[in-house]
Structure 1
């Protein structure tokens, strides 16, 4: 199976910019210099670049050092955990309300 078809092996240029604090110019420059491969895709008529995650991670390590990549991954993981905690708090609040209603019946 090609790396392009593996789940999680690719992502959009927009996601790469968000996850790794890259600019569009940095991505285009890396493509032109041969450091990044890309495929052009469209979703709902909007074009975007599909990039290989592995190559973007190598680019970030070269450009900013491996600690930058670790820090970004850590921040992204913390943000995901915080989001999950907020969701669980909402669920807990709803369950507590439902329990209170059942106890009052």
Structure 2
């Protein structure tokens, strides 16, 4: 299953979580898109799409909300969302 996670991570925690999820879901070949570096993807080419960002005042970051608004509307596209919250950067976990 061709899958994509679009993420916004300032400290590295959210990116770390995305890559972990990508390894743990069997049968899903994940690609990762840092929304600060990539253009709006063609979601029609993916079977599953995820969106991830850090919690910003108890909701998604403005940058992620703006990114989602730019996407063409999808019908019947399986998708998921998650957010992260923490006080330490992504370098705190040992590989």
TM-score interval, smaller chain: under 0.3
Of structures 1 and 2, the larger Rg is shown by: 1
Structure with more of its chain in helix, by fraction? 1
Q: TM-score, structure 2 length as denominator?
A: 0.27
Return the structure number with greater relative CO, CA threshold 8 A, min gap 6: 2
